[in-house]
Chains A and B, each alone.
Chain A
Amino acid sequence: SAVISQKPSRDICQRGTSLTIQCQVDSQVTMMFWYRQQPGQSLTLIATANQGSEATYESGFVIDKFPISRPNLTFSTLTVSNMSPEDSSIYLCSAIEAPQVNTEAFFGQGTRLTVV
């Protein structure tokens, strides 16, 4: 099973600044995703990170606010731009190795972001 590491695990940031979260998978995966989990809430899908092309964003999320990169099959980054206190959440990276064969999704432990 794939192991996903996220960095940083937590951070406290000033409003108006940006934070880049890294997601590293220990094996090549077909699909990678980014989720947000606000305090006491369920997970909300932000976008699908596509290798070598622009990410596919869900309704309510835009590239200017959450730029995503995926340079290869094992790594992705999510940037939270121009942060406000409303961006305080846990951000989770997820990956699926091979949707046609094994549909299990793996998740990182999340990045706990507090914006002050």
Chain B
Amino acid sequence: DAKTTQPTSMDCAEGRAANLPCNHSTISGNEYVYWYRQIHSQGPQYIIHGLKNNETNEMASLIITEDRKSSTLILPHATLRDTAVYYCIVGVTDKLIFGTGTRLQVFP
């Protein structure tokens, strides 16, 4: 499975867009990009995934570069409840291998 690189931590003001980057330069052609988050003391929660096209759902948008070597998760209007560790994972449809993630702190 391809490895990912994410910033250790980020801050975002409440109501602003949170843009979380992820580098995955060794991604293979059949590997998806997944984003999960883990709010303190809870199990991870699925956010979104994509193969090569940009994706949007009710939680977030996923922007994947044309060469697929990096992606950005966008939370359009961050709230305090979005404070969590966000994991970018690259792989196929079975087991997920978690990296260290980005700790996003949303402040008032």
Contact = CB atoms under 8 A, between A and B. Distances in A.
Interface of A: 4, 31, 33, 35, 42-45, 48, 92, 94, 96, 99-100, 103-110
Interface of B: 32, 34, 36, 42-46, 49, 85, 87, 93-101
A19 to B, nearest CB: 19
Contacts of B46: 104-106
Contact of B43 (A44, A99, A109): A109
A43 B95 contact: no
Contacts of B43: 4, 92, 94, 107-110
Nearest to A108: B43
Contacts of A105: 36, 44, 46, 96
A45 B98 CA distance: 8
Contact of A45 (B32, B44, B96, B99): B96
Given A92-B43, A104-B46, A106-B46, A45 B97 contact: yes
Contacts of A44: 98
B84 to A, nearest CB: 13
Given A107-B44, A109-B43, A99 B93 contact: yes
Contact of B95 (A45, A100, A106, A108): A45
B87 A99 contact: no
A42 B42 contact: no
B45 to A, nearest CB: 7
A42 B94 contact: no
Contact of A42 (B32, B45, B93, B101): B101
A4 B44 CA distance: 12
Contacts of B94: 31, 48, 96, 99
Nearest to B45: A107
